Structure 1
């Protein structure tokens, strides 16, 4: 597998480290050439191979950076600048390929399997048969019990979780903040829906035991 280390920019870096010659004036053009090479990487290339190629190149460039930082004499600041720029460019390209994985540009071999698996799964459309207040009460109870959390670690609020339930049940709660306030401000019979769930659940268990 070819890396990008045969680019002119890497040749200049190698000569610099070997103390053969310093041609700092050629660095800008060599860097532009490196940018062009990155842009010309085949778009239809297997993304895993592309990511591997970029990471191998990054490893080589990181080694060059470490060696450059250890030079005690004849160290040229412009070389340090372009080594850093090339590394930043590689990191950006690597992150872009990773984002393609996350948002739709899936490896073809896996994409067909995912589509096939999705097509075979029956779609279940859910509806909410309780009242808006019932749903608010249920969400508040689940959150109070620590039964719901965000996968990415974001802080959840009752409102944000209710919005997620709205999407799941294909409904829209009007005047949500007002209704939430009324549920939380109850003076008596504060959890009628939760209480009814407990009664219904116990009744179901009793029937199963008969």
Structure 2
């Protein structure tokens, strides 16, 4: 039986591996996930949406339209309570450049340097969209509450993981194993909601 190809609208190898693990854990077989590096390049709409959901849906629609494949896309970021839910959709470019994790994290810690521990609440948020050409469009949201640490710890994960301490956990997200992170994370929680749709695609 041939596998159903599903495009993941990302060049981030860690996100691809994360979705593969989520599907494996859920027992979904018959899906071959491919990233943007594995399909011909196509014009991508800039991520200018005001919400994670808008950005995820635009990416998934672009991918599905350009390749004819079902497409999963996510937009995620960190919402910090005392910063009025910022960096939010600007998380990847908080310090100016796109995807400079160290600079983004350093700026965030500097902005919170005078904030007492009890007011350092935050949450990782992920919106995941699934667009099937000529078919379903679905957007789901996963939230992972926690607090911002005073310094970076751990070398796992990516983004703000080294300064994010999940609720009920002494370690930062960067100190968790990949499996622990999948089970609890915002993206894991959102992707889990798409598992029934992906299982349907696998069944054809």
**Which structure has the highest strand share of the two?**
2
TM-score (norm 1): 0.24
Which protein is bigger by CA-based radius of gyration? Answer: 1
